[in-house]
Amino acid sequence: MNSDTFDVIVIGGGLAGLTSAIHLAKSNFQVALIEKQGYPKHKVCGEYISNEVLPYLKFLDFDPFEFGAKKITDFELTTHNNKKIEARLPLGGFGMSRYEMDFQLFNRAQKSGVQILQDTVEDVQFSDDIFQIKTKTNRTLTSKITIGAFGKRSNLDIKFNRDFIKKKSPYLGVKIHVSGDFEDTKVALHNFKGGYCGVSKVENDHINLCYITNYESFKNYKNIEQFQEKVIFKNEALKTIFSSSIPQFERPLTISQISFETKNPVENHMLMCGDSAGMIHPLCGNGMGMAIQSAKLASDLIIRYLKADIDNRQALEDLYAKSWNKTFRLRLRVGHTIAYLFRQDWLAPKLLVLLRRLPFLVPLIIKMTHGKPIKI
């Protein structure tokens, strides 16, 4: 095989890209992964990961607890007017920063023989059953299969003229790590007018504070500090955490244009994984779980295709689209409905009263936005 020809090329080295690359390299295929950023790097993310991915991570020889991930078993929710509910998480999860998790998976991928290139993919052409990938540094690579794992928004979405990229999205995300007091075993979702903030601890004992809001709420304030003081601090739990902790970043990380529009799981013959295929509302805390699970779905089918157990490309694409929709479509819909209901300031406190009266509903709702432990 020529040095720039691979069985599989993975575009994007977040959780979906890294886990699929490790899976395929472990099965002895020649895999290249192209990631535009270096490792390690902080990302805007709540950093609470559902335990449903643990069996699959074990299969990939990756144990998050080896790197100090926090076991999370308890859930707390407050409304913007400070009503609170607590519950035990049905399956639980763990807290690990993206800085550490992506970096350790990158190390694991290198050990498995994945060729990792730091470069930006600028074009993907498909003809004669072969993908040709062009990068910013003028490299051309070819492969039998390409996985699109380039996240929620990429230059390639514009290149492929994907529908969601044509619509403006009102959501933005802000994240900061702080040091202070917070239970290791808890993930909290504190709502404020126009958004919510996730709080949980990560491997190095820092507390991750990550919130999502919309421009409508944000635009009336001069800067993040003023927005936090005037809007976020109306939630007493958030006021306490923000004002009693010490920031560990020079300034918060921000991202904009977070879109929850429907996307296709197959695009230009690429199998799309993670946020590139569809994004669940972060309120559900399951985007990373879905990214990792979609990597497994794609990898299992790609292995069958490369071993000629699936006859042709159309069959591969149909099988992937079908299994992606079956596994995730309902989760996405439920997640977006819950987020919509909690965004209605008049309704959220009423919902909370209902959940307090019928507490068995909380784990049921969480289960509807999560999957079962991934079967190997």
Ligand X SMILES: Cc1cc2nc3c(=O)[nH]c(=O)nc-3n(C[C@H](O)[C@H](O)[C@H](O)COP(=O)(O)OP(=O)(O)OC[C@H]3O[C@@H](n4cnc5c(N)ncnc54)[C@H](O)[C@@H]3O)c2cc1C
Give me the least distance between CB of 51 and ligand X, in Å please: 11
DSSP label of 370: S
Which C-beta is closer to ligand X: that of 291 or that of 301?
291
Gyration radius from the chain CA atoms? 21
What tokens appear for 193 in the block? 């007018």
Which C-beta is closer to ligand X: that of 147 or that of 310?
147
Q: From 289, 272, 301, select the one nearest 24 (Cα to Cα).
A: 301
Which C-beta is closer to ligand X: that of 96 or that of 301?
96
- Report the half-sphere exposure of 244 (CA within 13 A, side-chain side): 9
Which C-beta is closer to ligand X: that of 165 or that of 212?
212
Other residues' Cβ atoms within 10 Å of the Cβ of residue 117: 18
Give me the least distance between CB of 291 and ligand X, in Å please: 4
For residues 19 and 296, the answer to whether their CB atoms sit within 8 Å is: yes
Give me the least distance between CB of 365 and ligand X, in Å please: 16
Give me the least distance between CB of 165 and ligand X, in Å please: 12
Give me the least distance between CB of 171 and ligand X, in Å please: 8
Return residues touching ligand X (CB under 6 A): 11-17, 34-37, 44-49, 120-121, 149-152, 154-156, 173, 198, 210, 212, 258, 274-276, 282, 285-289, 291
C-alpha–C-alpha distance, residues 156 and 287, integer Å: 20
Other residues' Cβ atoms within 10 Å of the Cβ of residue 249: 12
For residues 308 and 287, the answer to whether their CB atoms sit within 8 Å is: no
Which C-beta is closer to ligand X: that of 124 or that of 310?
124
With tokens 């509807």, the residue in question is: 368
Which C-beta is closer to ligand X: that of 64 or that of 285?
285
Give me the least distance between CB of 350 and ligand X, in Å please: 26
C-alpha–C-alpha distance, residues 353 and 190, integer Å: 16
